[in-house]
Homo-oligomer: A and B are copies of this chain.
Amino acid sequence: MKIRFYNARILTMTEGSPLFEGELWVEDDRILYVGDGKDLDGFYRRTGKECIAWDQEIDCAGNVLMPGFKDAHTHSAMVAMRSFADDMPLQEWLNTKIFPLEAKMTDQDNYDLTQLAILEYLTSGITAIFDMYLSPKDIARACIDMGMRCVQVSGLNKFGPALEVMEERFHQLNAMHPLVSYFMGVHAEYTCSKELLEDVSALIHKYKAPVFSHLSETKTETEECIARYGMTPPQFFDSLGLFDYGGGGYHCVYFTEEDMDLFAKKGLSVITNPGSNTKLASGIAPITRFLEKGINVGIGTDGASSNNCLDMFREMFLTTGLAKLHDNDASAVDADEVLRMATVNGAKAMGLTDCDVLAEGKKADIIMIDLHQPNMQPLNNITKNIVYSGSKQNVKLTMIDGKILYRDGKFLCCEDPEALYAKANEIIARLSGR
């Protein structure tokens, strides 16, 4: 399948590259060419390609092509609990509302609900998710069947499947399909015993594997970890050797200077979740300090039951906006920096270095941002428009692995979205005993 996008504004997100007018060609799952289209002879000579017979040519009408957003922290199937139990603090919400329902979820529920979440990701230009949830095999199937790129991470804890299951999934899911990969990880310090974490450490040393976990999300979590072990969650994890092969943390709201130094030294990633941290009143992460320390910061929506929407535009505005409020500085965390977080930095954390920027040979995970909307006009600064004024309404096309899955409000990857909506309503009715 050969697709030509022309008449585009292109934001490659490669270091130092400005937005330019040009075209982008896709062959099967990869980017064949991206450039201003002026020296195509050079391209043909260099690649040995000749006149290409296009399967599809798309006039971008001056709209922006850019790498798809990487949603670097998700619990997709939690869409079932969207607006189910709001306005509650994290621990109460988890223990009284979420955990009892999750105990009743079937594998098929996870498959169906993940598919619903995927539709929502596509409307927001999200082309890859970093998903931690129950039934990893079913999540993978849901993603493969719809064409979503998915990096899964284990949410190992003392109540769930044993360590051996994580090891088995690590092998199984990393060999399953090019769209799917799997990281080792643990749910959080407060849901794991020290012994379990020591066992995880032994396992990740066997495979030289990175580890991700919810980390210092709330003040209570951080204080209780210090009370238990005399260390913050990142330092406790590091003391067990869990970060010896990289990885990082989700949320990272209550990081000390020492925690940040540790992350910087070990090359760990922070995934910030400003929507969830806002709605659950967890706090504001110190993004400016992370950046000053040179830490890789990606952005995630978290699950729909705590956020409640899966929208990278909201997260981008909150990432910069909350940093401005936190620092009392309107210049904090520039829009271009936020776009890097939502694309390249997320990809780096997720091991998707083949899907991070628009360049020849990279995976074709591409979105088109509609500038022909009032909220994008005038075109004083297009990247600032995207971060400060953009919304789902501006996502004109979402392509993953060379396939157009969403275009002009239509889901090309799903014949019957209404059937998925109906299933989601049935599932939550059954789980909640309504």
Contact = CB atoms under 8 A, between A and B. Distances in A.
A425 B314 contact: no
Contacts of A275: 317, 321
Contact of A123 (B81, B311, B330, B393): B393
A322 interface: yes
A373 B123 contact: yes
A309 interface: yes
Candidate in A83, A284, A324, A382 with the most chain B CB atoms within 10 angstroms: A83
Candidate in A82, A379, A381 with the most chain B CB atoms within 10 angstroms: A82
B117 A330 contact: no
A5 interface: no
Contacts of A421: 372, 374, 377-378
A71 B295 CA distance: 39
Interface string A405-426: 0000100000001101100110
Given A82-B380, A83-B381, A87-B330, A279 B425 contact: no
- The binding surface of chain A is classed by DSSP as helix
Assembly stoichiometry (copies): 2
Nearest to A118: B374
Contacts of A409: 409
Interface stretch (A149-157, A165-173, A239-247, A383-391): A383-391
A428 B385 CA distance: 15
Given A330-B279, A393-B392, A378 B425 contact: yes
A330 B81 CA distance: 17
Given A278-B322, A428-B380, A83 B388 contact: yes
A345 interface: no
Interface stretch (A206-214, A331-339, A348-356): A331-339
A369 to B, nearest CB: 14
B123 A388 contact: no
A307 interface: yes
A330 B89 contact: yes
Contact of A307 (B120, B281, B322, B388): B388
A23 B173 CA distance: 50
A291 interface: no
Contact of A325 (B123, B281, B425): B281
Interface in A159-195: none
B330 A280 contact: yes
Interface string A265-286: 0000000000100111101100
A80 B279 contact: no
Shortest Cβ-Cβ A-B pairs, 7 listed:
A309-B389, A83-B384, A120-B374, A278-B321, A119-B374, A308-B388, A83-B381
